[in-house]
Amino acid sequence: MRPITLGITLALIAGMASAAPVPPSAEKTLAAGKPWVVVSPSGEAAAIHGAIDIDASPRQVWAVLVDCAQARKVISNLTVCRVVEKGPNWDVREQVSKGNMFLPTIRNLVRADYTPYSRITFRRTGGDMKILQGEWRLEPRGAGTRLVYENRVAADIKLPAEVVRAGMKADCGKVLVNVRRAVTGK
């Protein structure tokens, strides 16, 4: 296995892979109430594409996504989320994620641009990640919302690519479920 330079945790916090639609093959998983996640190589980075259906309005989902105080409910190893700069429909956040025996503590500055209730794009402006660029899309579906997550991420952390991608897939699924739980209470 060749080593690859990727980070698992910050890939899930913020951060633009191409805005691809959720494929028809994901519908069965989503209809069963489960998150759908695919992680694939993307040059020196990894591309993460995930989605989950939430029984709540885009406005309700939005409220959780933009609130730093809610971030620790969504990302279990997040230790810091604070807004360091703010403008109309954008902010820059410092985000720190606690390391473990395989990953160091990771700190990043992330700029998020907001299109209220429909889209958050994000990109790295400083910190430990080499690449961190993506989006959250909130797609109305009847009385609910399909939350779509895409991210392209790379860091100077040497781990086997297969292990990193498996970890990213599991972590992304957990984050999507945690967003749903924070919004709906279930």
Torsion region of 107: left, alpha or beta (phi above 0 gives left; psi -120 to 50 gives alpha) = beta
3-state secondary structure of 5: strand
pLDDT in tens, 76-102: 899 999 999 999 999 999 999 998 887
Token couple for 146: 């399909």
Domains of the chain with bracketed CATH: 3-184 (3.30.530.20)
pLDDT in tens, 31-65: 999 999 999 998 888 999 999 999 999 999 999 99
* Per-residue pLDDT band at 10 (split at 50, 70, 90): very low
Token couple for 181: 């739980």
Does pLDDT of 66 surpass 70? Answer: yes
* Per-residue pLDDT band at 19 (split at 50, 70, 90): low
Does pLDDT of 178 surpass 50? Answer: yes
pLDDT at 65: 97
pLDDT at 13: 39
Looking at the chain, which runs of residues are DSSP E strands? 3-5, 36-42, 45-54, 78-87, 90-97, 106-115, 119-127, 129-141, 144-155, 158-160
pLDDT in tens, 106-145: 999 999 999 999 999 999 999 999 999 999 999 999 999 9
pLDDT at 29: 97
State the residue for tokens 């028809």: 24
Does pLDDT of 176 surpass 70? Answer: yes
pLDDT at 4: 34
- Cβ proximity of 110 and 122 under 8 Å: yes
